């Protein structure tokens, strides 16, 4: 089964749990985002995501260089994920959470490397 099937399946599952589909899409993978009854915004692939919620924040973000903006988004995402540390109800959730956090940290590492590289080219 492909990744797309997974997105559809997970999306359907979220809707069944009472989530609503949003206009926004995941900043990382582009999948449609869902709002849970709890108010959390989730991507079927990445779990909880932080999206820009007000206009001033959006303007502020757009003035920063792309890599910085991406990193800021990821840091927000990590902040959201970190709220679940120690609150997971199963070993499986623990593994998923640590994988998600580890994955984001890897992306930050790559971003910082790219920023350093592009600076050196100037
Ligand atoms: Zn995603």
Domain definitions of the chain by residue range: 1-49, 51-122
Query: Are 37 and 53 spatial neighbours (Cβ–Cβ below 8 Å)?
Result: no
Å from CA of 81 to ligand 1 middle: 14
Query: Are 31 and 44 spatial neighbours (Cβ–Cβ below 8 Å)?
Result: yes
Å from CA of 122 to ligand 1 middle: 33
Tens of pLDDT along the chain (122 residues) come to 566 788 899 999 999 999 999 988 888 888 899 999 888 889 998 888 877 655 555 444 445 577 888 888 999 999 999 999 999 889 999 999 999 999 999 999 988 888 787 766 65
> For residue 22, which of 50, 5, 42, 52 has the smallest C-alpha distance?
42
Å from CA of 116 to ligand 1 middle: 26
Å from CA of 12 to ligand 1 middle: 15
> For residue 30, which of 54, 17, 46, 9 has the smallest C-alpha distance?
46
Query: Are 31 and 43 spatial neighbours (Cβ–Cβ below 8 Å)?
Result: yes
Å from CA of 48 to ligand 1 middle: 9
Å from CA of 63 to ligand 1 middle: 24
Å from CA of 120 to ligand 1 middle: 31
């Amino acid at each position: 089964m492909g990744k797309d099937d997974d997105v559809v399946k997970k999306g359907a599952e979220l809707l069944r749990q009472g989530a609503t589909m949003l206009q926004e899409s995941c900043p990382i993978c582009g999948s449609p985002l869902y709002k849970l009854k709890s108010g959390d915004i989730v991507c079927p692939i990445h779990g909880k995501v932080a999206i820009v919620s007000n206009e001033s924040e959006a303007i502020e973000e757009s003035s920063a260089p792309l890599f910085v903006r991406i990193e800021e988004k990821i840091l927000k995402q990590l902040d959201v994920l970190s709220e679940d540390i120690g609150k997971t109800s199963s070993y499986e959730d623990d593994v998923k959470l640590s994988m998600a956090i580890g994955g984001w940290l890897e992306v930050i590492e790559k971003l910082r490397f790219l920023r350093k590289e592009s600076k050196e080219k100037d």
